């Protein structure tokens, strides 16, 4: 097991390229199964979750070719015969559950393990299953697996997502584009990942009305063709590096290959910290402020503040001049990072779904333990402004969602090395 050893504090100076989005790529990979010919997706990051999902898809009989150097992934569904996603793979990553919608949609039958993934918080799949039942599918649970069956063409109907859910929206779209006469999803997620999926399915031949709105109406078509698709850039990686660039007063960083339109309201919230930010095409230039303004936030569904950036934001607020708060309205128990940042010297207190932060505090290096993907990266950001050596343990979480993280940060001045963690 690996760890990061970080020596700080270090300002960041230079250019960071933003990688392709894991969260956008995974639904596109599932959609490739629905085509009658190969689909090629570019701008794919080299991440553990991508490799895992490649293997999930291969189990079905699909051919999957991943050119890592070029970021090009080709999926050929011609020989797909095995309509199952097994526990030993699905348990590693929740997004493998997209196989349920894809296999049900393409073949009217699926056997998919209930998912695993990050350790924090209950994220039940009830919405996915209830939506498929509303569509007309028969859904049963047996020994930890979901068994789904559908007639040749389901009648469809209407289903309201309460609450709105990216994962459930994706799965219901995948299930319905080939197999439902007419199916309407109310309170559908509007995140860029969902919009991109629906646009690309439309290019493959799907009939989807209301793309980009909270009401999607899907009318089943006879077949879909393969496509050439550019994956989106990672908006959460973009936000993470924006925050990291603001935390040291001498930092001056340019982010490239950014899909700026996918950032929602985040840039305007970010400006409130006092940062000097210039957006030019697909690049963002950031000059850190001498003093960070304390800025409180509440997470919200897109285009609001992303829950996937709240840990990083709270960590930045430890370096702000004054009090602030971070409230997560999406996941109430996503604060496992707080005791670890406190170990570094932060003054943070969690009550229910809000963490209150007293800044500015001097952080000092220590050993800290990451528990999930975004918690892990918040500890890296803290370590880069802490005095002395910080060991960030269990960084396998980071390898799931950040491509070449230590190399990208080292290239702009951070002092980060990967080492073997002693048990």
CA distances from 114 to 87, 88, 173, 371 (A): 7, 11, 19, 21
Which one of the listed residues 118, 137, 185, 286 is annotated catalytic? 118
> Quick one: which H or E segment has residue 99?
helix 98-107
Whether residue 328 is annotated as binding a ligand: the answer is no
State how far the Cα of 279 lies from the Cα of 262, in Å rounded to an integer. Answer: 13
State how far the Cα of 330 lies from the Cα of 308, in Å rounded to an integer. Answer: 10
Whether residue 353 is annotated as binding a ligand: the answer is no
Torsion from C-alpha of 56, 407, 361, 268, nearest 10 degrees: -70
Cβ 239 vs Cβ 266: under 8 Å: yes
62 catalytic per annotation: no
Whether residue 2 is annotated as binding a ligand: the answer is no
Whether residue 22 is annotated as binding a ligand: the answer is yes
Cβ 34 vs Cβ 174: under 8 Å: yes
Whether residue 400 is annotated as binding a ligand: the answer is no
392 phi/psi in degrees, rounded to 5: -105, 110
Whether residue 374 is annotated as binding a ligand: the answer is no
Whether residue 404 is annotated as binding a ligand: the answer is no
CA distances from 275 to 76, 295, 316, 411, 413 (A): 46, 12, 12, 22, 19
Per DSSP bridges, beta strands 180-186 and 215-219 are antiparallel
State how far the Cα of 392 lies from the Cα of 259, in Å rounded to an integer. Answer: 30
State how far the Cα of 381 lies from the Cα of 249, in Å rounded to an integer. Answer: 14
Whether residue 94 is annotated as binding a ligand: the answer is yes
Measured distance between the N- and C-terminal CA atoms of the chain, rounded to whole angstroms: 8
Cβ 333 vs Cβ 355: under 8 Å: no
Q: How many CB atoms lie within 10 A of CB 215?
A: 13
> Quick one: which H or E segment has residue 145?
strand 145-149
CA distances from 40 to 44, 71, 103, 233 (A): 10, 10, 19, 16
Whether residue 77 is annotated as binding a ligand: the answer is no
Whether residue 380 is annotated as binding a ligand: the answer is no
State how far the Cα of 258 lies from the Cα of 413, in Å rounded to an integer. Answer: 21
DSSP 312: H
SS3 378: helix
Length in residues, the chain: 423
Tell me whether the omega of the peptide bond preceding residue 303 falls within 30 degrees of 0, making it cis. Answer: yes
Which amino acids are annotated catalytic?
A: 118
Output the known binding site. 22-23, 94, 123-127, 308, 330
What residues form the annotated binding site for UDP-N-acetyl-alpha-D-glucosamine? 94, 123-127, 308, 330
Q: Which residues are annotated as a binding site for phosphoenolpyruvate?
A: 22-23
């Amino acid at each position: 097991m690996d760890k990061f050893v970080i020596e700080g504090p270090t300002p960041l100076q230079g250019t960071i390229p933003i990688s392709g989005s894991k969260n956008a790529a995974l639904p596109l990979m599932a959609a490739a199964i629905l085509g009658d010919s190969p689909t090629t997706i570019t701008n794919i990051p080299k991440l553990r979750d991508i490799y895992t999902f490649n293997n999930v898809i291969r189990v079905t009989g699909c051919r999957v070719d991943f050119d890592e150097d070029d970021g090009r992934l080709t999926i050929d569904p011609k020989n797909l015969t095995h309509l199952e996603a097994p526990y030993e793979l699905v348990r590693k990553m929740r997004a493998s559950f997209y196989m349920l919608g894809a296999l049900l949609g393409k073949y009217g039958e699926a056997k998919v393990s209930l998912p695993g993934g990050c350790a924090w918080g209950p994220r039940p799949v009830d919405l996915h299953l209830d939506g498929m039942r509303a569509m007309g599918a028969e859904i049963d649970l047996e020994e930890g697996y979901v068994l789904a069956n559908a007639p040749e063409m389901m009648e469809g109907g209407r289903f309201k997502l309460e609450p709105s859910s990216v994962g459930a929206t994706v799965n219901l779209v995948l299930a319905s584009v080939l197999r439902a006469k007419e199916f309407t999803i109310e309170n559908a997620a509007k995140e860029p990942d969902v919009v991109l999926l629906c646009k690309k399915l439309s290019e493959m031949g799907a009939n989807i009305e209301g793309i980009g709105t909270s009401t999607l109406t899907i009318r089943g078509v006879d077949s879909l063709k393969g496509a050439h698709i550019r994956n989106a850039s990672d908006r959460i990686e973009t936000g993470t590096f924006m925050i990291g660039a603001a935390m040291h007063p001498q930092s001056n960083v340019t982010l490239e290959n950014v899909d700026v339109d996918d950032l929602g309201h985040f840039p305007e919230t970010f400006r409130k910290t006092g940062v000097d930010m210039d957006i030019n095409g697909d690049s963002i230039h950031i000059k850190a402020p001498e003093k960070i303004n304390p800025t409180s936030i509440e997470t919200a569904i897109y285009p609001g503040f992303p829950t996937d950036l709240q840990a990083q934001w709270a960590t930045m607020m430890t370096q702000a001049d004054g009090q602030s708060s971070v409230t997560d309205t999406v996941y109430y128990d996503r604060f496992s990072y707080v005791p670890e940042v406190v170990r570094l010297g932060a003054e943070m207190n969690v009550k229910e779904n809000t963490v209150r932060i007293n800044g500015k505090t001097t952080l000092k290096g220590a050993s800290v333990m990451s528990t999930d993907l975004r918690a892990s990266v918040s500890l890296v950001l803290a370590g880069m402004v802490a005095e002395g050596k910080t060991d960030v343990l269990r960084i396998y979480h980071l390898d799931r969602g950040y491509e070449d993280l230590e190399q990208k940060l080292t290239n702009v001045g951070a002092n980060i090395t990967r080492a073997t963690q002693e048990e």
